[in-house]
């Protein structure tokens, strides 16, 4: 989730924001099917705007009855500084009506009192101007309806089911993975997702070669036929310098090889996004003045004060304290064998006894204790012995649990077959 990002060249971020808008627009466009004839002109949609859902009232009766009334809706858009009272006023409804409605709904009215500018409320009144119904699209999948029934206002929510559609993309790297991903029609989220999945095996900044390739099966979420967002990556394969890495998503949300081995390591190689290594691991380091051996038992990662420091693996904080030598420091125990240490922090965000997850921010880089400048001093101990954090072999994260392995492998086989099948079709079409 973080390792490879720090390795990406400068300027990467700028590229992201520049093309993500284009991508988002491209993704909003309808896919190959006949859904193109939607109520609104999709090409006119603006990035970052919220759009009202087109709700088919006939097929979703607001009132559970065969003679559901046909409302004539009138829409009010929430402006900055608006209150529900102002909206009611603009809709030609009295303060009395608002009062009655709020009294009827009680605490359930909360979402209506937290409207944001740009959101829309639909009002329906009868010929006498009495409020009959309010419709509010809280999100792409949640509609809130207020309906007058037997003289009282009642709240009905309507959940619109999300439909997952499977997408396939493949590409070949000519410059970098980012460009190849964009060319293949992938969104930033999916490109980042793939880089994350293989981030322990492939250095996306330094190790990619011309001709490397990838293929991915992923989900897209649709509501009412409209694209909403990218969903999970289901299966992905990446060929780097002739070696193909495969990953399949398990129901636990983690990615494994089709055999069920984890793609994660139990530890991050470095627990901070650093500028450079200011001092290497050196058990035989000599003191410049005394000439005596004064080992450097860790790695010094130079980084700006305030840079987040991550727990390099799952574990439990055994110490979180301050000393004149270490400054603010945190020690984490990972199972029986491993301990990691983080020194000279400006801030500690975890206390002794707390459980932490790999990648969780536990503190901030600082220059506390005996230091010459801001850096993270990081130590990695195996069975009480200091090891070089840069080169120590890192254990794999846990594989798919035995009880789930047979099912997972069957599923993974099916996924990989679909992936290569799609790849074949794509190649045949070229
Ligand atoms: Zn150090």
Between the CA of 290 and the centroid of ligand 1 the distance, in Å, is 18
Between the CA of 278 and the centroid of ligand 1 the distance, in Å, is 8
Looking only at the bridges linking them, the beta strands covering 355-356 and 361-365 are unpaired
DSSP bridge pairs for 135: 122, 145
Q: How far apart are CA 180 and CA 174, in angstroms?
A: 7
Q: Which residues surround ligand 1, an ion (CB under 5 A)?
A: 300, 377
Q: What are phi and psi of 312, to 5 degrees?
A: -75, -20
What is the structure's pLDDT at 356? 96
Q: What are phi and psi of 37, to 5 degrees?
A: -90, 65
- Write the CA distances from 389 to 112, 147, 239, 364, integer angstroms: 53, 63, 27, 19
Between the CA of 397 and the centroid of ligand 1 the distance, in Å, is 27
Across the range 111-122, mean pLDDT stands at 90
For residues 76 and 82, the answer to whether their CB atoms sit within 8 Å is no
pLDDT surpasses 70 at 413 = yes
Residues counted in the chain: 430
Between the CA of 184 and the centroid of ligand 1 the distance, in Å, is 44
- pLDDT tens digits for 280-317? 999 888 877 778 888 999 999 999 999 999 999 999 99
| Structural domains in the chain, sorted by start | 3-36+162-256 (3.10.450.350), 54-159 (3.10.450.350), 276-387 (2.70.70.10)
Across the range 228-246, mean pLDDT stands at 94
Of the candidate ranges 10-19, 126-135, 185-194, 400-409, the one whose mean pLDDT is the lowest: 10-19
Between the CA of 73 and the centroid of ligand 1 the distance, in Å, is 68
- pLDDT tens digits for 183-235? 999 999 999 899 989 988 887 877 889 999 999 999 999 988 889 889 999 99
What is the structure's pLDDT at 240? 93
Looking only at the bridges linking them, the beta strands covering 299-302 and 308-310 are unpaired
Between the CA of 388 and the centroid of ligand 1 the distance, in Å, is 12
Between the CA of 132 and the centroid of ligand 1 the distance, in Å, is 70
Q: How far apart are CA 334 and CA 383, in angstroms?
A: 11
Q: How far apart are CA 350 and CA 379, in angstroms?
A: 18
Here the tokens at position 201 are 């095996």
- pLDDT tens digits for 23-77? 333 333 333 333 333 334 444 445 544 444 444 333 344 444 444 457 788 999 9
For residues 381 and 361, the answer to whether their CB atoms sit within 8 Å is no
What is the structure's pLDDT at 168? 95
């Amino acid at each position: 989730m973080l390792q490879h990002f720090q390795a990406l060249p400068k300027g990467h971020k700028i590229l992201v924001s520049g093309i993500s808008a284009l991508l988002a627009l491209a993704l909003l466009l309808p896919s190959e099917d006949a859904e193109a004839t939607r109520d609104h002109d999709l090409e006119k949609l603006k990035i970052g705007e919220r759009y009202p859902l087109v709700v088919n009232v006939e097929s979703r009766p607001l009132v559970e009855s065969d003679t559901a009334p046909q409302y004539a809706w009138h829409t009010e858009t929430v402006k900055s500084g608006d209150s529900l009272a102002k909206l009611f006023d603009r809709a030609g409804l009295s303060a009395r009506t608002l009062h009655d409605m709020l009294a009827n709904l009680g605490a359930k009215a909360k979402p209506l009192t937290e409207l944001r500018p740009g959101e829309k409320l639909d009002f329906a009144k009868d010929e006498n101007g009495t409020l009959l119904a309010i419709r509010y699209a809280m999100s792409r999948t949640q509609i809130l309806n207020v309906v007058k029934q037997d003289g009282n206002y009642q709240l009905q929510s309507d959940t619109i089911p999300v439909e997952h559609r499977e997408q396939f993309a493949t590409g070949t790297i000519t410059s970098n993975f980012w460009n190849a991903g964009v060319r293949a029609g992938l969104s930033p989220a999916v490109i980042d997702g793939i880089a994350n999945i293989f981030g322990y095996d492939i250095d996306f900044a330094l190790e990619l070669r011309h001709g490397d390739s990838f293929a991915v099966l992923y989900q897209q979420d649709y509501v009412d036929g409209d694209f909403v967002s990218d969903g999970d990556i289901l299966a992905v394969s990446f060929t780097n310098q002739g070696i193909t890495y495969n990953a399949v998503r398990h129901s636990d949300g983690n990615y494994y090889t089709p055999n069920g081995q984890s793609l994660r390591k139990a530890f991050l190689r470095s627990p901070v996004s650093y500028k450079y290594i200011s001092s290497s691991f050196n058990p035989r380091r000599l003191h410049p003045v005394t000439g005596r051996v004064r080992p450097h038992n860790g790695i010094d990662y130079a980084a700006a004060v305030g840079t987040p420091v991550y727990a390099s693996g799952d574990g439990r904080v055994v110490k979180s304290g301050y000393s004149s030598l270490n400054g603010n420091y945190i020690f984490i125990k990972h199972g029986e064998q491993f301990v990691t240490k983080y020194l000279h922090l400006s801030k500690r965000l975890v206390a002794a006894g707390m459980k932490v997850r790999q990648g969780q921010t536990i503190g901030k880089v600082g220059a506390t204790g005996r230091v010459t400048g801001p850096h993270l001093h990081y130590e990695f101990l195996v069975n009480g012995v200091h090891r070089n954090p840069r080169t120590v072999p890192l254990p794999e994260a846990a594989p798919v649990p035995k009880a789930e392995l047979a099912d997972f492998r069957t599923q993974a086989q099916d996924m990989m077959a679909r992936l290569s099948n799609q790849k074949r079709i794509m190649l045949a079409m070229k």
